[in-house]
Amino acid sequence: MRLGKIVLPSGESGLGVLVAEGIRVMPFPAGCRSLADVLYSSDPRALVEKHLSASRLISLAEVDLQAPIDHQEVWAAGVTYKRSQVARMEESETGASHYDRVYTAPRPEIFFKGTARRVSGPGGPVRIRKDTKWSVPEPEFALVISPQGKLVGLTIGNDMSARDIEGENPLYLPQAKVYNECCALGPCVLLPEGPLDRAKTRIQMSIRRRGVEVFQGESNLDQMKRSFEELIDWLFRDQSFPDGAILLTGTGIVPPNEFTLAAGDLVTMDVTGIGSLSNTVVQG
Ligand code: DO4
Ligand code: MG
């Protein structure tokens, strides 16, 4: 089941269930005031199914899908794929050995990525900082995690990154990663029915400039060195999340070093079973 956060004609947020024919829209079930309340309930699927008969089926084009986030903090793991380790070592003269070591160390790299205010939804903007000359999007599996540390769903995350700022000095990582519209999430939250088939769960990214594709890449979950459970365990060590958390799990797709995003680019990320997240790049 795929759940979206939508705006109802009344202007309030509501729930959408994405189906083959479109999207079933409804107010939040009684007792829930947000998508997070639904996701953190004891059985989200049963709760939504109980209310499906009262929903209205409309086309996806008619609905304003929002980023599937409420009050959660967004965190991110890094260097969880070989491709990211290699790219980071190339971009950083001084920090190369840090990336090398973190790829194999028991403790993963985990960093704060933002708050809901910094996150765009489907169709929204993602930003290039004014003080960077080398920026890329990073397509990542994003975990929706309950306050109890339970993985309740999956979405797509774009971890926008200023590679020159990070490469100049690893201590600049928070500035390379956290700024206005530095992240996009969506289009929905997949409630997994069981463990994902890692080899068959594909993530793809396409970047179009003035209608022409300038980058295309793909990876799959099998190429990730760490498990979701391991990353959640590290994130929750001596750290509580009363509103739950969203954890991006690292990128396995990095455009070639000569590539940088430009304002107006359209970045599209597709993940098996979840859908497609498209955002337009802005700067200034
Ligand atoms: O240390 C750099 C960040 C790594 C990252 O964001 C990734 O691998 O996805
Ligand atoms: Mg990343």
* Maximum Cα interatomic distance, the chain, rounded to a whole number of Å: 59
**Nearest CA to 217 among 249, 254, 163?**
254
DSSP 187: E
* CB-CB contact of 70 with 240 (8 Å): no
Tens-digit pLDDT profile for residues 163-178: 999 999 999 999 999 9
Tens-digit pLDDT profile for residues 79-118: 999 888 898 888 888 888 898 899 999 999 999 999 999 9
Q: Confidence band (pLDDT; 50, 70, 90) for 8? A: confident
Q: Which residues line ligand 1 (CB under 6 A)?
A: 76, 78-79, 84, 88, 109, 138, 159, 161, 166, 173, 250-251
- The CA distance from 150 to 41, in Å, is 11
Closest Cα to atom 4 of ligand 1? 78
Query: Which CATH code for domain 73-283?
Result: 3.90.850.10
* CB-CB contact of 252 with 224 (8 Å): yes
| CA 217 to ligand 2 center in whole angstroms | 15
| CA 157 to ligand 2 center in whole angstroms | 9
| CA 206 to ligand 1 center in whole angstroms | 19
Domain positions in the chain:
2-66, 73-283
Q: Dump strand ranges (E) for 21-81.
A: 22-26, 56-58, 65-66, 73-78
User: Does residue 28 surpass a pLDDT of 90?
Assistant: yes
Q: Which ligand is nearest to the CA of 224?
A: 1
Identify the residue with better confidence: 195 or 151.
Answer: 151
- The CA distance from 281 to 284, in Å, is 11
* CB-CB contact of 176 with 159 (8 Å): no
| Tokens representing residue 24 in the block | 């079933």
Q: Which ligand is nearest to the CA of 225?
A: 1
- The CA distance from 233 to 229, in Å, is 6
- Mean pLDDT, rounded, of the chain: 96
| Tokens representing residue 20 in the block | 């083959």
Q: Which ligand is nearest to the CA of 108?
A: 1
For position 217, what pLDDT does the model report?
98
Helices and strands, counts by H and E, the chain: 7, 19
Q: Confidence band (pLDDT; 50, 70, 90) for 263? A: very high
| Tokens representing residue 27 in the block | 């107010």
Closest atom, ligand 1, to C-alpha of 109: 1
**Nearest CA to 116 among 246, 275, 271?**
246
Closest atom, ligand 1, to C-alpha of 111: 3
191-198 mean pLDDT: 90
Q: Dump strand ranges (E) for 123-199.
A: 125-128, 135-136, 139-145, 151-159, 161-162, 183-190
- The CA distance from 275 to 284, in Å, is 30
Tens-digit pLDDT profile for residues 124-166: 999 999 999 999 999 999 999 999 999 999 999 999 999 999 9
For position 119, what pLDDT does the model report?
98
| CA 69 to ligand 2 center in whole angstroms | 18
| CA 248 to ligand 2 center in whole angstroms | 7
Residue of 138, 160, 171, 178 best suited for mutating to test ligand 1, as the one with most atoms within 8 Å of CB = 138
| CA 43 to ligand 2 center in whole angstroms | 31
Which helix (H) or strand (E) segment holds residue 174: the answer is helix 173-177
- The CA distance from 121 to 183, in Å, is 9
| Tokens representing residue 188 in the block | 């929905």
Closest Cα to atom 7 of ligand 1? 78
Percent of the chain residues topping a pLDDT of 70: 100
- The CA distance from 200 to 177, in Å, is 29
Closest Cα to atom 2 of ligand 1? 78
| CA 247 to ligand 2 center in whole angstroms | 10
